[in-house]
């Protein structure tokens, strides 16, 4: 017990022995790469969240350190992300004007509450809940968020005055009507920044393309006249480390932000765990979902006291961290520390950073969020998944983002329930060409069936949601096919609940009343234990449960109607060999008719 608690609250003790001179060198180089990459991203993400640029950098300094120490992944890099940033903006902008002190204060409170949710989920061992959110929902939400992010930057890359709080559709309508009033010097800076970033990514992929594109955009802005051309600049970022901050603990504020904080917490956990598992599939590391919950929760709780807003795992930075050769989570710590040093040295230079160039970079970030490969695959291969994708995408665009997240989770759960409520039920029959006469799926190999016996295999756990479907299939066999003896192969049944057990008990009573029975074979020990503790074996009768196929079939063939067997041609069981042959099967072949021609 002590070892489990130690691993939960001090997980870094498990990977600390891996740290040596070689690993430190590799982690330092990976951390250096990560720091350079997150510098422009941090500023961009804070802008998306409606916060001053430095808050994105503060988040990239604090969040990754705590998440690295208390998470389970060795390569996951946490910090500000696009999806979380836009949800934060959506949640807080309805309570306060972006960029104001009140907005910042509420954002820190939202971050604290999200961290508490995440930490509580981890302590309660609810890491498995992330598995119920389908990848399709994440793809749809992310694509919608990408469109919203791009839409939010139109006013910066065109220098148009768009009323605050306008919906997605209204913003595009406003842009379409007022495009002739756009500042084309500002648009030129944004376009050149985008072209520079894309070109460097294509021809020099190892260079920090976003950072260099921002520098090029800044130079262009200065060359064409800067302020005299109506080009706005980000302004100077304070050259300081994250200052202490204090979230609000007012019950009114907590009550107001609790629903939005839950959505932020849920999205953050989905992002972090899915990214951690994706990278772990390459690094061959086992991820503990519960520990990731704890790590993400603590990172947001601690971050809220050091001017950091809600963060999560970053797919881009985590992937690059792994590709750069990181060995342990020390690489995340190195990245944060190096970022602190960079900010202290170059923060004053941000006064030359054009808002339009930042908008161009954010457009690239938004474009990279759209997973076109998976979207095309989903739309092409599965109508159900495609409908979920479209609904989540449209909900993200036209409804509150928090509601879109909840809707996506609800759709995932409904999809899961729909799939599990209709388990595969296979009708089987002995294969006469097999020496052991193994039971074979008659859909795969058409085989004769005994008119009095049905052998079925149920593939999946049986619970209250699937009981009606299974019961209807059993009723069809009993009523429509007139079968009274049913054998259930329980090899693939891993779980039963009371609703399932009660259903089997009722069917057993029904078949017994008709002179037949419901037989069970190959039950797993856990199912034996459950049925025994619930007295279901006693109620159904121990004689109807078997460990081996041969014993079950012997018992069944001893109870079939011999008068029906007398005229049966199927003869599917070995036991049928001892039964008398049907009269028509005893008749000798008809003699050939001889024709007499005269």
What digits encode the pLDDT tens for the residues 400-414?
777 887 787 788 788
Neighbouring-strand partners of residue 312 = 79
Q: Are 311 and 303 in contact (CB under 8 A)?
A: yes
**Tens-digit pLDDT profile for residues 416-444:** 788 888 888 888 888 777 777 777 778 77
Evaluate if pTM is beyond 0.75: no
**Tens-digit pLDDT profile for residues 491-521:** 889 889 999 999 999 999 999 998 899 999 8
For residues 281-305, average pLDDT: 87
Give the pLDDT score at 575.
64
**C-alpha to C-alpha distance for 461 and 483, rounded to whole angstroms:** 25
Q: What is the DSSP letter of 354?
A: B
184 vs 210, residue with greater confidence: 184
Query: Is residue 288 helix, strand or coil?
Result: coil
Tell me the two tokens of residue 393: 């995408």
223 vs 236, residue with greater confidence: 223
Please enumerate, as own/partner, the contacts of 504-513 that have beta carbons within 8 Å and a separation of 24 or more. Answer: 504/536, 504/540, 505/536, 505/539, 505/540, 507/471, 507/474, 507/478, 508/540, 508/541, 508/544, 510/478, 511/478, 511/484, 511/485, 511/486
Give the pLDDT score at 272.
86
Tell me the two tokens of residue 570: 């199927």
Tell me the two tokens of residue 503: 């259903």
Q: How confident is the model at residue 119 (pLDDT cuts 50, 70, 90)?
A: very high
**C-alpha to C-alpha distance for 48 and 473, rounded to whole angstroms:** 54
**C-alpha to C-alpha distance for 107 and 96, rounded to whole angstroms:** 10
Pairing of strands 78-79, 312-313: antiparallel
118 vs 235, residue with greater confidence: 118
* Other beta carbons less than 10 A from residue 230's beta carbon: 11
Cα–chain center distance at 263: 14
**C-alpha to C-alpha distance for 237 and 347, rounded to whole angstroms:** 5
Q: How confident is the model at residue 6 (pLDDT cuts 50, 70, 90)?
A: low
Residue matched to tokens 């609904």 = 391
Give the pLDDT score at 591.
47
Sheet bearing 485-489, strands edge to edge: 439-441, 424-430, 453-459, 485-489, 517-521, 545-546
H/E element, 92: helix 82-92
Q: Are 376 and 143 in contact (CB under 8 A)?
A: no
Give the pLDDT score at 595.
41
What whole-number percentage of the chain has pLDDT above 70? 93
Give the pLDDT score at 508.
93
Give the pLDDT score at 577.
64
Domains for the chain: give ranges and CATH numbers: 25-370 (no CATH), 424-582 (3.30.750.24)
282 vs 477, residue with greater confidence: 477
Residue 410, classified by CB atoms within 10 Å of its CB into exposed (0-12), middle (13-18) or buried (19+), is exposed
Checking if the pLDDT of 154 tops 90, the result is no
Q: Are 263 and 404 in contact (CB under 8 A)?
A: no
Q: What is the DSSP letter of 286?
A: -
Give the pLDDT score at 60.
93
Give the pLDDT score at 580.
61
**Tens-digit pLDDT profile for residues 32-71:** 878 877 888 888 889 889 999 899 999 999 999 999 999 8
Q: Are 143 and 386 in contact (CB under 8 A)?
A: no
Checking if the pLDDT of 550 tops 80, the result is no
Give the pLDDT score at 597.
38
């Amino acid at each position: 017990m002590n070892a489990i608690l130690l691993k939960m609250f001090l997980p870094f003790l498990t990977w600390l022995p891996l740290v040596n001179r070689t690993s430190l060198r590799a982690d330092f180089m990976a951390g250096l790469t990560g720091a350079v990459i997150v510098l422009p991203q941090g500023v961009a993400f804070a802008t998306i969240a409606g916060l001053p640029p430095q808050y994105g950098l503060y988040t990239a300094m604090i969040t990754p350190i705590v998440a690295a120490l208390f998470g389970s992944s060795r390569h996951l890099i946490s910090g500000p992300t696009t999806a979380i940033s836009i949800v934060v903006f959506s949640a807080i902008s309805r309570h306060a004007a972006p960029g104001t002190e009140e907005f910042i204060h509420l954002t820190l409170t939202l971050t604290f509450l999200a961290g508490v949710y995440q930490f509580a989920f981890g302590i309660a061992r609810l890491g498995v809940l992330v598995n119920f959110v389908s990848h399709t929902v994440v793809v749809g939400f992310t694509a919608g968020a990408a469109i919203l992010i791009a839409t939010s930057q139109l006013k910066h890359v065109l220098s148009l005055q768009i009323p605050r709080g306008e919906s997605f559709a209204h913003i595009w309508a406003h842009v379409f009507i007022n495009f002739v009033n756009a500042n084309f010097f500002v648009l030129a800076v944004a376009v050149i920044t985008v072209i520079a970033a894309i070109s460097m990514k294509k021809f020099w992929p190892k260079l920090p393309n976003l950072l260099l594109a921002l520098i090029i955009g800044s130079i262009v802005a200065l060359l064409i006249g800067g302020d005299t051309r109506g080009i706005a600049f980000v302004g100077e970022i304070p050259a300081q480390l994250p200052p202490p901050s204090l979230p609000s603990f007012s019950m009114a504020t907590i009550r107001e932000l609790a629903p939005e904080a839950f959505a932020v917490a849920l999205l953050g956990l989905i992002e972090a765990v899915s990214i951690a598992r994706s990278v772990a599939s390459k690094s061959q590391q086992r991820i503990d979902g519960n520990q990731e919950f704890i790590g993400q929760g603590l990172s947001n709780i601690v971050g809220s006291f050091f001017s950091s807003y809600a963060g999560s795992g970053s797919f881009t930075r985590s992937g690059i961290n792994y590709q750069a050769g990181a060995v342990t989570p020390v690489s995340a710590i190195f990245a944060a520390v190096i970022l602190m040093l960079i900010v202290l040295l170059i923060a004053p230079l941000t006064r030359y950073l054009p808002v339009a160039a930042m908008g161009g970079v954010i457009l690239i970030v938004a474009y990279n969020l759209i997973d076109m490969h998976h979207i095309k695959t989903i739309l092409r291969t599965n109508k159900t998944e495609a409908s979920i994708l479209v609904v989540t995408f449209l909900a993200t665009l036209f409804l509150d983002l928090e509601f879109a997240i909840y809707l996506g989770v609800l759709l995932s759960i409904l999809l899961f329930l729909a799939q599990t409520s209709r388990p595969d039920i296979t009708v089987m029959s002995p294969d006469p060409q097999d020496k052991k006469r193994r039971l074979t799926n008659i859909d795969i190999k058409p085989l004769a069936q005994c008119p009095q016996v049905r052998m079925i295999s149920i593939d999946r756990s049986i619970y209250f949601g699937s009981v009606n479907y299974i019961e209807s299939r059993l009723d069809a066999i009993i009523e429509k096919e007139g079968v009274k003896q049913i054998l259930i192969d329980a090899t693939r049944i891993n779980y039963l609940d009371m609703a399932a057990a009660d259903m089997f008990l009722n069917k057993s009573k029904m078949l017994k009343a008709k002179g037949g029975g419901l037989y069970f074979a190959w039950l797993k020990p856990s199912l034996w234990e459950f049925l025994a503790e619930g007295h279901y074996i006693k109620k159904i009768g121990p004689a109807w449960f078997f460990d081996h196929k041969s014993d079950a079939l012997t018992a069944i063939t001893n109870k079939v109607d011999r008068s029906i067997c007398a005229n049966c041609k199927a003869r599917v069981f070995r036991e049928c060999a001892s039964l008398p042959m049907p009269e028509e099967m005893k008749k000798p072949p008809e003699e050939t008719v001889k024709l007499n021609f005269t």
